[in-house]
Structures are given as structure tokens and as C-alpha cells.
């Protein structure tokens, strides 16, 4: 019989406790019930909230008129930082015609400077003297229906809280109204005060900003990050103003469609617009706007929204069976355009006046 | 003052109410106060000097104190006599105040009553009411499609 050497014995003695511990760990792990998917989701949301809650702030404004008296009327919403210098994004609805805008962090007031305001997209950019922790932005293009999203915001006058949901759609229309660009529809449960909250992927990247909620807050709409990027670039180039492109064409859906079932027909040409000077005529079927192929009316929306004022654009139409191409320079969409309607906001008062509380009942 | 100026003043006053001092204000407020006291003695006018020289004498101080005490006694006695002339008619009090007073049973009734009286004339519609923002549809939409 071979006698084990000293080094072999020493090695066995050293390994034995480790192996024993490993077996006991494995047996314990096997005995412990696996965490449910709900626990895992809860942990993820909780972790995300802890990491990014400091980047989301409460935005307040005060409007003083003869009707409000000296106390004024205050509005509250949420916002989030996008750089380390105190720049934040929020909903334009909280700014409106206010006389004073500020951000509240841990009960302290920071007076805000309005760097940009665009009522058409609902985006406002503020800056406060504060060393902020920004949220990273990402493109929404990788999202699918069913992608998980998280939002952090301030419902009513409560502390900030996270909300978890899924992407439910990418819409250009709600009931009979067309949006100015494709919005992300998510089934995040939100409350008044959460407008301006970031909508994030589970890894904390902002893919949109909450701008509206309907159906008692069960459906929420977010302005996508690509639209935010476009508006911010406009604001930086034009002293805080967003410039929306304007050709001057009214379109309608035609039936049946022509040329690969394309259904967008020119309905109206507005006077004094680039369209009037071009070769576009009422009755033309639109095939292409810039690089965007047009098949249905909603295709026009993004083609128009992402176009830039002053840039040339080619518009291809079909007239009497032949293709006609027009080249024109985009003008600035008039602010007083009668077809753009400012929607009344749902302004829910605080818990002190529950009888006046209304939610989602003003949608057209 | 015209309407525009009045509205501007109204806005300024409203905004001023919500101002907050800078973060280091309270750290230096006491030292600043004492420094100002040391550096800028209160100026005494000619007439204030004369009044001080007369009233500063002990005899004048006693006389002034006695006169104030007499006036105070007279005022108290007049008030007591007027109040004790008969019970106050309950109908003279606002009904909502009476209901509240009758319902009070705790030892803190006096405190509550004071609070009630203090707030009774406050217009409730002027209280600062926050509105929490959430649009019911994205802020701009179009009923017809244009580009």
C-alpha cells in the first residue's frame, strides 16, 4: 500500500473544508425557493429608483393675475437633469405664462432660467445653479411593443416614486387628433404632477419624457428622445425657440389608394407658403417627402416634424398617373396657424380639494 | 396708478413672498447685525435730544408711569362695565362660530376658539392652491393633417 506524501496530505486537509463548505452552500441554495418574477422586477425597479432619484426634481411655477390675487396660482410638475450644470427638461405646460419658475430640491428653492420653451412639442428646458446628476439619453428606436419602461416622478405633492410598465404602442393619432410627431404610448400608471418625468429603459437610459396621460392615467404618452433631441438642437440654434418646418400643404386620406396603396392626397395649398410657389397641386397623391416614403397620413407627421427650417426638400407626388417632383425650401411653421389647437390641460388641484379633482375627462 | 402698473406691482409682491435667502445668510446674520450696530450709531435728532433730557430725569419718569397706570385702569374699568351690562345676544355671533363653540368639549377649547376667530375672516378662495400638471393629450395636436 502506498503511503501518501506530506504535501499530498496537506493539500487534502486544505481542500476538505472548502469542499465541505461548497456542498453545504449548494444544498442551501437548492433548498431556498427561487425568487418570483415579481420579486425580481421589484428589485430592478427599486435599484433603478435608488440610482436615479436624485436626477428627477419637482418643478414649480407661479402665475399672478387679477383673478388669482396676491397669492397667485401655482403649478407643479416633474423634470429631470440632462447635464451636470443644472440643465433640466420638463413639460412646457408647467411654464405657460408664469411669472416665476423654480425647482425644489429637498425643500430648497432654486430659481430657474428658461432656456427653451416650445408649446407645440410640450418641451421646456430650464437651468438652475446646481451641480446635478444627469440621466443618460438614448434613442427610442430599439424599443418594441412590450419593452419594459420605468418612470420616476412626483405625483401630486407626494415624494418621488417609480412607476413600471410596458410600451403599448407608437402613435401618431389619438382619437381624431393627429400628434405633431410619433409619441410613445406606455401603460405606466401616472398621476397629475408627473408630467415632465423621464421614461427610462430598465438600464436607466431616457427614451422619452411624459407629456400626457389619459383614461384615468392608465395610458400615458411620452415625447420620444429623438424628438427631444431635435427640439433641443433647434433651441440651441435659435435662442431658445423651436422652429417647426412648414411646407403649407393640407393632406387627407384618399380611398382607394394608388401606386402601392398610397393614400395621402393633397387637399389644400395654403397661400404665401413654399407649397404655393412649387408644382404641388390639390389632388396630387404624395409618394415621398424628403427621405420618408409616404403610404398613410401618419407617415407625413414624422417627415414634417424632423425636417429643418431653411433646408431644401424634395417632394414627390403622383398626378394623373405620372410622377412629379418638386424641390422647395422649408419655411417656419406659423405659430398662429389656425389648425394647431392648444389643448386645455387637465390641472388637478391638490388633495385638499378632492371634489374638484378631474382626470382625463377633457380629451377631445 | 394705472392697471398695468398695479398688475406689475401685484406680480412683484407675489414673487417676493416666495423668495428665499441664500444658504449662508443665516450663518452670518448675527455677526452682520452686530457689525452694523458698531459701525453706524443711531443718529439722535435735536428734538429727540431735548425730550430725552426732560423725560430722562427720575421725577418725570415716575410721573409718566403714574399717568399711564391711571389711563390703563380707566380703560379696563370702562370695558368691564360695558361687558357686564348684560348678556351678549347669541344672534349677534355668526352661526357657524356658535356651532363650533357649542361642539367644543376639550380643554383646548379656548385655543381652538382663538384660532377659529383668527381664521374666520380669512377668505378661503385666496389660499394658495397648487395644481398638478398632466395634460390629457400631448400639448399640441391637429384636427387636420398639415405639413
Check residue A133 and give its pLDDT. 95
User: Would you say residue A227 has pLDDT above 70?
Assistant: yes
Answer whether residue A27 shows pLDDT above 60: no
Q: Mean pLDDT, chain A, as a whole number?
A: 82
Pairing of strands A198-200, A219-224: unpaired
What pLDDT is attached to residue A312?
92
DSSP letters for A325-347: EEEEE-EEPPTT-TTEEEPPPEE
What's the pLDDT tens digit per position in B29-88?
A: 888 888 887 887 666 777 777 777 766 666 777 888 888 899 988 888 776 655 544 444
The answer to whether residue A223 scores a pLDDT higher than 90 is yes
**pLDDT tens, A233-244?**
999 998 898 889
Rounded to whole angstroms, the Cα distance separating A221 from A211 reads 6
Q: Give the mean model confidence (pLDDT) for residues A146-171.
A: 94
Q: Within the 274-333 window of chain A, which residues sit less than 8 Å (CB to CB) from chain B?
A: 289, 297, 300-301, 303-304
pLDDT of A184 reads 95
Model confidence at A299, pLDDT cuts 50, 70, 90, reads confident
What is the pLDDT, as a whole number, of residue B41? 62
Q: Does the distance separating the beta carbons of A195 and B141 come in below 8 Å? A: no
Q: How far apart, in Å, are the Cα atoms of B18 and each of A62, A111, B10? A: 10, 10, 13
Residues of chain B contacting A93 with CB distance shorter than 8 Å: 133, 135, 139
CB atoms within 10 A of CB A291: 10
Tell me the per-residue pLDDT of B96-111, one tens digit each, with 9 for 90 and over: 444 554 555 444 555 5
Give B3 to chain A, closest Cα distance, Å: 10
Higher-confidence position of A46 and A262:
A46
Higher pLDDT, A126 or A177: A126
Residue A300 and residue B133: Cβ atoms within 8 Å? no
| Cα–Cα distance measured from residue A225 to residue A207, given in angstroms and rounded to the nearest whole number | 5
Interchain contact, A346 vs B134, CB within 8 Å: yes
Read off the pLDDT band of A47 (50, 70, 90): very high
Across the interface, whether the CB atoms of A108 and B135 are under 8 A apart is answered no
Backbone dihedral angles phi then psi of residue A320, each to the nearest 5 degrees: 50, 40
| pTM of the full structure | 0.66
Residue A143 has pLDDT above 70, yes or no: yes
State the pLDDT at residue B119: 43
What is the dihedral sign for C-alpha A309, A310, A312, A316?
positive
Q: B15 vs A347: CB contact, 8 Å cut-off?
A: no
- How many Cβ pairs within 8 Å bridge chains A and B? 204
Residues 153-212 of A with CB under 8 A from B: 155-157, 174, 176-180, 183, 190-196, 211-212
Nearest CA in chain B to A65: B7
Chain B positions touching A361 (Cβ under 8 A) are: 136
Closest to A363 measured CA to CA, from A90, A184, A173: A173
Q: How far apart are CA A51 and CA A34, in angstroms?
A: 26
In A, which residues are within 8 Å of B15 by CB distance? 62, 64, 99-100
Pick B114 or A146 by higher pLDDT. A146
Which of the two residues, B141 and A341, has the higher pLDDT score?
B141
- Does the pLDDT at position A180 exceed 60? yes
Average pLDDT over residues B109-120: 47
ipTM summary value: 0.74
Q: What percent of chain A has pLDDT over 70?
A: 82
What are the tens digits of pLDDT across the range A255-283?
666 666 788 889 889 888 899 888 888 98
pLDDT on residue A343: 37
Which residues neighbour A349 within 8 Å (Cβ) at sequence distance 6 or greater?
Answer: A356, A357, B129, B130, B131, B132
Amino acid at each position: 500500500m502506498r503511503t501518501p506524501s506530506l504535501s499530498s496530505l496537506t493539500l487534502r486537509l486544505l481542500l476538505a473544508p472548502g469542499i465541505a463548505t461548497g456542498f453545504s452552500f449548494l444544498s442551501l441554495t437548492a433548498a431556498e425557493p427561487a425568487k418570483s418574477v415579481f420579486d425580481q422586477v421589484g428589485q430592478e425597479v427599486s435599484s433603478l429608483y435608488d440610482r436615479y432619484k436624485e436626477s428627477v426634481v419637482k418643478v414649480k411655477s407661479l402665475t399672478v393675475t387679477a383673478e388669482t390675487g396676491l397669492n397667485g396660482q401655482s403649478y407643479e410638475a416633474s423634470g429631470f437633469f440632462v447635464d451636470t450644470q443644472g440643465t433640466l427638461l420638463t413639460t412646457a405646460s408647467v411654464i405657460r405664462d408664469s411669472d416665476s419658475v423654480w425647482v425644489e430640491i429637498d425643500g430648497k428653492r432654486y430659481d430657474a432660467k428658461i432656456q427653451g420653451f416650445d408649446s407645440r412639442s410640450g418641451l421646456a428646458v430650464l437651468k438652475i445653479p446646481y451641480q446635478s446628476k444627469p440621466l443618460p439619453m438614448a434613442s427610442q428606436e430599439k424599443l418594441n411593443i412590450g419593452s419594459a419602461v420605468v418612470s420616476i416622478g412626483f405625483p401630486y405633492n407626494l415624494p418621488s416614486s417609480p412607476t413600471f410598465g410596458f410600451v403599448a404602442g407608437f402613435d401618431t393619432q389619438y382619437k381624431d387628433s393627429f400628434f405633431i410627431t410619433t409619441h410613445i404610448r406606455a401603460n405606466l400608471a401616472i398621476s397629475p404632477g408627473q408630467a415632465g418625468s423621464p421614461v427610462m429603459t430598465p438600464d436607466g437610459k431616457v427614451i422619452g419624457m411624459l407629456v400626457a396621460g389619459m383614461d384615468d392615467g392608465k395610458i400615458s404618452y411620452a415625447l420620444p428622445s429623438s424628438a427631444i433631441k431635435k427640439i433641443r438642437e433647434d433651441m440651441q440654434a435659435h435662442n431658445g425657440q423651436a422652429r417647426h418646418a412648414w411646407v403649407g400643404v393640407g393632406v387627407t386620406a384618399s380611398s382607394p389608394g394608388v401606386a402601392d396603396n398610397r393614400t395621402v392626397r393633397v387637399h389644400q395649398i395654403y397661400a404665401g407658403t413654399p407649397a404655393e410657389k412649387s408644382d404641388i397641386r390639390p389632388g396630387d397623391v404624395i409618394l415621398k417627402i424628403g427621405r420618408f416614403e409616404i403610404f398613410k397620413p401618419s407617415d407625413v407627421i414624422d417627415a414634417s416634424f424632423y425636417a429643418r427650417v431653411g433646408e431644401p426638400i424634395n417632394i414627390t407626388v403622383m398626378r394623373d398617373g405620372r410622377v412629379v417632383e418638386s424641390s422647395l425650401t422649408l419655411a417656419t411653421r406659423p405659430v398662429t396657424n389656425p389648425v394647431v389647437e392648444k389643448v386645455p390641460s387637465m390641472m388637478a388641484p391638490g388633495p385638499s380639494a378632492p371634489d374638484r379633482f378631474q382626470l382625463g375627462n377633457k380629451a377631445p | 396708478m394705472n392697471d398695468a402698473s398695479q398688475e406689475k406691482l401685484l406680480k412683484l409682491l407675489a414673487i417676493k413672498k416666495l423668495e428665499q435667502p441664500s444658504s449662508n445668510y443665516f450663518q452670518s446674520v448675527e455677526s452682520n447685525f452686530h457689525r452694523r450696530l458698531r459701525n453706524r450709531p443711531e443718529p439722535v435728532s435735536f428734538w429727540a435730544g431735548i425730550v430725552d433730557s426732560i423725560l430722562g430725569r427720575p421725577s418725570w419718569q415716575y410721573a409718566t408711569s403714574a399717568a399711564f397706570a391711571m389711563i390703563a385702569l380707566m380703560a379696563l374699568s370702562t370695558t368691564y362695565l360695558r361687558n357686564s351690562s348684560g348678556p351678549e345676544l347669541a344672534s349677534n355671533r355668526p352661526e357657524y362660530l356658535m356651532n363650533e363653540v357649542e361642539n367644543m368639549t376639550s380643554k383646548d377649547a379656548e385655543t381652538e376658539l382663538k384660532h377659529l376667530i383668527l381664521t374666520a375672516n380669512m377668505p378661503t378662495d385666496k389660499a394658495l392652491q397648487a395644481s398638478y400638471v398632466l395634460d390629457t393629450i400631448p400639448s399640441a395636436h391637429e384636427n387636420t393633417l398639415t405639413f
